Amino acid sequence: MPLDCRPKLNCRRLCSLLFLPFLFIHFSSTAANESLLLTGKVSSVKSQSFMVPKAGDAWRYQIQWMMPEGEIAEPGQVVVIFDKTQIDNQIEQLEASLLRVTAQEQSTSIDLKASVLQAKFDLKQKETERDKSQLDADVPADYIAAKEYAENQFKLMQANSELIKAEQALKEVLDKQSASKAQLAIDRSRAQLELQQALDGIEQLTLKAEIKGPLLYSSEPWSDKKYAVGDTVQIGRQVASLPAMEELEVVAWVNEVDVDKIEPSSRVTLRLDSQSNMTFSGQIKSIGRQAQKQAAWGNSNWFKVEISFTPDEKVKIIPGMSVLVTSEVKL
């Protein structure tokens, strides 16, 4: 029995040794044709972004209504509306403030006019008294008693002093009137400006399309969750975008570990997730130079890859579609 088993064992060992070169050739061939898979989306060179506007004093607004995602928007059509309750309340307060400032301006203007008239009347009265004192003082000392002459001269000095005081009082009242009018005009203009800005803010909270294209919801940068009606979003955040239907491209992202494996002008194969049975070709147009963080994808750095392609009439392509990109690895 041992003699019969030995040849069989040698045969198995021999077969294994003969098979190793074939394994080596297979793996080398696979390495030579290694490809890199990237995920991306159909985008457009021309697009419109919809941000939460800076309207009123609030620093974030709630999304009240959004056009259904993927629906084609026409120019001038409303696509996003933010809640206007807070700014409506602000407008009511600003309108009341403007009425209060206007009433104060009118009341102060009446009081100042009365003060000016009173000051002018007092000045006229002092001028009359001065003129009378001047006539008495002009009587020569030879015709009246010395005491009376001295009293007339003293009264003239008093009248001149009172006249100077009245002139100064009128000047102060006129200066006060001018300054008060200027300040009240500033207060009124400020109130009008704040009210106008709030009214403009009402319009800003309604976002309209400027181009034709499908509405795509944006995602929260930290969770990759798409914004929806009812979400409260900080001003400046993009809640949606509207890519044009022409000048389409594919935007993909490559990890920092793999960025050196591809290069511009390389040919790629594109496959839509929604039409996985059909492929079409493209070409890497550019690779971003600045790495970016994608909070929802972990701590790695990612580089933006722009891919140009010629649309195939057999393939229905709309911005926002997910695309699988196959690129040959640079040797």
187 and 99 assigned to the same domain = yes
Query: What is the rounded CA–CA span in Å between residue 156 and residue 129?
Result: 9
Transcribe 180-225 into DSSP letters. Answer: HHHHHHHHHHHHHHHHHHHHHHHHHTEEE-SS-EE-EE-B-TTT-P
- Establish if 1 belongs to a structural domain: no
Residues 39 and 174 in one domain: no
pTM: 0.58
* pLDDT by position in tens, the chain (length 331): 343 444 443 444 433 433 333 323 233 333 445 789 999 999 888 999 999 998 877 889 999 999 999 899 999 999 999 999 988 888 899 999 999 999 998 999 999 999 999 999 999 999 999 999 999 999 998 888 999 999 999 999 999 999 999 999 999 999 999 999 899 999 999 999 989 988 888 999 999 999 999 999 999 877 878 999 999 999 999 999 999 988 899 999 999 999 999 999 999 999 998 888 888 899 999 999 998 887 777 788 999 999 999 877 777 788 888 999 999 887 6
Domain ranges, residue 324: 35-45+244-328
Three-class secondary structure of residue 78 per DSSP: strand
In the beta sheet, which residues pair with residue 268?
282, 327
Same domain for 215 and 170:
no
- Same domain membership, residue 195 and residue 127: yes
CA 202 distance to own-chain centroid: 15
Please give the tally of structural domains in the chain: 3
